[in-house]
Amino acid sequence: MEKLKQDLAMNKEREERSIRVKYENELKIFEKQTEENFIREKKFLETRQINQLNILKQTIEKEKLDLQNKLRFETVIRIVLYENFFLLFQSRYVS
């Protein structure tokens, strides 16, 4: 009877140790997968941020070019207007 109790206790201990090892291994796998997912997500967010910055840079550059073109156009218009005004002034008052 005593031997049976010892055998049952040893079997129970062995089973508990086996379950503990199984859960420890599953925990290690879960931690590794969590770390890999974190690294993947971090890379994704960094890439996304870089892409958003590039889009922002392109937008700023486009707006800058648009403003430069508008400024050139307005400058040319002003020059033409001043030249016409000068020519008109000259034809009326200088002749």
d(CA 16, CA 88): 106
Residues 20-54: pLDDT tens digits?
A: 999 999 999 999 999 999 999 999 999 999 999 99
At 89 the pLDDT is 83
In this structure, the dihedral spanned by the alpha carbons of residues 41, 42, 44 and 45, taken in order and rounded to 10 degrees, is 110
Model confidence at 68, in pLDDT bands (50, 70, 90)? very high
The yes-or-no verdict on residue 95 having pLDDT over 80 is: no
For residue 30, CA distances in Å to 20, 25, 34, 39, 79 come to 15, 9, 6, 14, 72
